[in-house]
Structure 1
Amino acid sequence: MKKFTRSAVSTAAIAAMSTGGLALSSTASAELSANIGVVSNYLFRGVTQTDDSAAIQGGIDFEHDSGFYAGTWASNVDFGDDTGYELDLYLGFAGELANGIGYDVGYVYYAYPDSSESIDFGEIYGEVSFDMLKAGLAYTVNSDNDDDLFDTGDLYYYIGADIPLPEDFALGLTLGYYDFDIDGKDGVKASYGHFAASLVKDAASYGEFSFNLEYADIGEMDALGSSNSDDLKVWVGWSKTF
């Protein structure tokens, strides 16, 4: 299943990572923003969440000058059952040290309120960055999925780069690995490598447009096989923050 985090643990949160919003009056500066997005395919770490179909997504974010942030984000999903949407809740703390090293740590809870099965789970995540480079991980700390995918103990880690280009373009690159706790048990092959590349155009008041390539090293007989198997995914997206 799954999105994210604010720090780009996955590309599903492009809208949530955009800047801008409505300033709130207080002694310390704070900001409230909303975002909306449309994607031709919702992928979470290289795995489609919509059976290769489009998704409408959106959320609300609160950010404080101290570095604290919190928010919620939602998207339609299609897992081939009665689950119709995903609702994420997250909070964290982000900032930059005097030497230019950035950091982002937090917790995200992935919920599926209309699912007939209990498949919710939560992760703690952390990312460090310097200039254009970044590295991070997400660890599943609580889950309703006992002895299954997205169970407690799963780990996703990655390295990447965000490269500014002329004319308000940017190139994002991510290389990651999803290490599932059930991998190898009873002959199950679940863990896989993941690569993503995104070309993003900031069109100012018109929002952001992106062209994305993603590949997950998943075989047809693996736990996440079928429509996610070993082929390059190409998707486009648009997002705007208010």
Structure 2
Amino acid sequence: MFKKIAALALGFGLLAAPAVAQVDLGSGFSLTGTVTGTTDYVFRNISQTNNRPAIQGSLELSHETGFYIGTFASNVAFPNTNARQEVDAIGGFRYTFAEAFTVDLSAVYYGYPGYSEQPGQNQIAFFETVLKLKYALDPVTFVGTAAWSPDYFASSGDSWWLEAGIDVKLPIHDIVISGRVGYQWIEDNARFGAPDYFAYSVFVTVPIAYGFSAAVGFYGTDISQSQCGGLKVCDNRFIGSISFTF
């Protein structure tokens, strides 16, 4: 039975990127935080909340040397399980060369406090290493991500995620139009609950004021509903969100 929900594939996709605004703590340290309300929480374009809204928060403590630690939390809803929240731990190093090229290497542990596996179910917590690359050529920014897990969601074994994208800042109100394409490979597709898949998205981010911003986008995969255990969590969808960043 758990195979039918394993395609929910958890994690890092909506974890807020480091914000421009930061709280200076002195001695080279700074703190950044984001609170988000969203109509759906998707990770790699698969719903983590069974197509329902989510409230999320993230914090990052960084040092001018490039090292940082952080956390991300969100409500989740996986059918036929008692998983109700996700709390992640992140640590890494980020460095920018010549004010244009940024390398970000991190380790992420995706935890689900309160979850207890029932007969026929698998452990859903997992670990990933994530490499992010960014090249800024104003007003265009090119981004790429590679993530590897030795034992992915639902103990589904070795996995790889590759993603490429572009952000274009418009001269009107600093509006940003973004596009992403990615592919997820999983060693044990039967245990994961879905085949390897292609993901794609287009979204727009609009700064408002006082640290607030709004976003709306379209997110999709090439997984059919029958390949997703009969669930709608892999379907194409529109998502809207409001964020506050400090």
TM-score, with length taken from structure 2: 0.85
Q: C-alpha offsets along residues 89-124 of structure 1, whole Å, 9 cap, x if unaligned? A: 101111122383221111111000111123100100
Secondary structure of 2:239's partner?
strand
State the match for 2:64 in structure 1.
65
Q: C-alpha offsets along residues 158-208 of structure 1, whole Å, 9 cap, x if unaligned? A: 11011111212101111000111113x69x752100001110011130511
Contact 1:124–1:141, Cα closer than 8 Å, also in 2: no
> Aligned equivalents of 1:215 and 1:39: distance in 2?
17
Cα shift at 1:2: 1.4
> Aligned equivalents of 1:84 and 1:99: distance in 2?
41
> Aligned equivalents of 1:88 and 1:120: distance in 2?
10
Cα shift at 1:21: 2.7
Cα shift at 1:225: 5.0
Overall identity of the aligned pairs, in %: 25
Secondary structure of 2:205's partner?
strand
Match of 2:15 among 3, 13, 16: 13
Cα shift at 1:143: 5.1
> Aligned equivalents of 2:99 and 2:35: distance in 1?
34
Instruction: Indicate how the Cα distance of structure 1 residues 120 and 110 shifts in structure 2: closer, same or farther if over 3 A, else same.
Output: same
1:17 is matched by which residue type in structure 2?
P
Q: C-alpha offsets along residues 60-82 of structure 1, whole Å, 9 cap, x if unaligned? A: 11011111111001000000121
Secondary structure of 1:145's partner?
helix
State the match for 1:181 in structure 2.
187
State yes or no: 1:235 paired with 2:244: no
Cα shift at 1:142: 4.5
Structure with the bigger RCO (C-alpha within 8 Å, sep 6+) is: 2
Cα shift at 1:3: 3.0
Contact 1:37–1:57, Cα closer than 8 Å, also in 2: yes
> Aligned equivalents of 1:54 and 1:122: distance in 2?
25
Instruction: Indicate how the Cα distance of structure 1 residues 53 and 191 shifts in structure 2: closer, same or farther if over 3 A, else same.
Output: same
State the match for 1:95 in structure 2.
95
Q: What is the RMSD computed on CA atoms of the aligned residues?
A: 2.0
State yes or no: 1:145 paired with 2:154: yes
1:24 is matched by which residue type in structure 2?
L
Structure 1 runs not aligned, ≥5 long: 5-9
State yes or no: 1:169 paired with 2:168: no
State the match for 1:7 in structure 2.
none
Cα shift at 1:19: 2.6
Secondary structure of 2:210's partner?
helix
Secondary structure of 1:33's partner?
strand
What does 1:212-227 correspond to in 2, within 5 Å?
212-223=217-228, 225-227=230-232
State the match for 2:4 in structure 1.
none
State the match for 2:210 in structure 1.
205
TM-score, with length taken from structure 1: 0.86
Instruction: Indicate how the Cα distance of structure 1 residues 210 and 189 shifts in structure 2: closer, same or farther if over 3 A, else same.
Output: closer
